């Protein structure tokens, strides 16, 4: 593991990312494009900068616990069977693992994200086996 600090830059999207059709869920309306720049990506944790243009995307069974801070834009997030909540620049929120609902992106959003990855049962088994093997 490296012993250094990593800077998360909101401008990294403009320099280092190529937008592509959104794949974080099923597009329901519009033609949202997303782009991201990972800053750190390890087995159980990842973070970076992400952006998505206007549109509506339905998410099903989100695989991570994710913390977000909106750097710009506006989005209305509605959990399945729940109440819509609007977020804008400066707002922070958590998307829990298993989240199902919609993201209605009203103005292009850019956010810092941090996700806790949850390895599959197979992934956990592989980690346990690796831990038992001599180095």
Task: Cite the beta strand spans of the chain per DSSP E.
Answer: 20-21, 26-30, 33-41, 45-52, 55-59, 65-79, 85-88, 92-95, 101-116
Q: Is the pLDDT of residue 96 over 70?
A: yes
23 three-state secondary structure: coil
Return the higher-pLDDT residue of 128 and 70. Answer: 70
48: its two tokens: 């970076």
**Gap between the Cα atoms of 30 and 40, Å rounded:** 30
Q: Which has more confidence, 86 or 117?
A: 86
Domains of the chain: 27-127 (2.60.120.10)
Lowest average pLDDT, out of 84-88, 104-108, 117-121, goes to 117-121
SS3 state at 126: helix
Tell me the three state secondary structure of residue 97.
coil
User: Tens digits of per-residue pLDDT, 68-95?
Assistant: 999 999 999 999 999 999 999 999 999 9
CA distance 34 to 23: 8
Read off the pLDDT of residues 45-55 as tens digits, 9 standing for 90 and up: 999 999 999 99
The C-alpha atoms of residue 43 and residue 116 are separated, in whole angstroms, by 9
Instruction: For residue 120, count other CB atoms closer than 10 A to its CB.
Output: 9
């Amino acid at each position: 593991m490296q012993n250094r600090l990593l800077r998360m830059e909101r401008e990294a999207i403009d320099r280092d990312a190529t937008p592509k059709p959104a794949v974080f869920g099923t597009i329901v309306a519009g033609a949202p494009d997303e782009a991201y720049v990972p800053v750190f990506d390890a087995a159980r944790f990842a973070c970076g900068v992400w952006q998505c243009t206007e549109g509506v995307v339905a998410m099903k069974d989100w695989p991570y616990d994710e913390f977000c801070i909106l750097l710009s834009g506006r989005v209305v997030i509605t959990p399945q069977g729940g109440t819509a909540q609007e977020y804008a620049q400066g707002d922070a929120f958590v998307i829990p693992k298993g989240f199902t609902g919609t993201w209605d992106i009203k103005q292009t959003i850019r956010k810092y994200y941090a996700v806790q990855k949850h390895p599959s049962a197979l992934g956990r088994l592989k980690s346990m086996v690796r831990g038992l093997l001599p180095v």
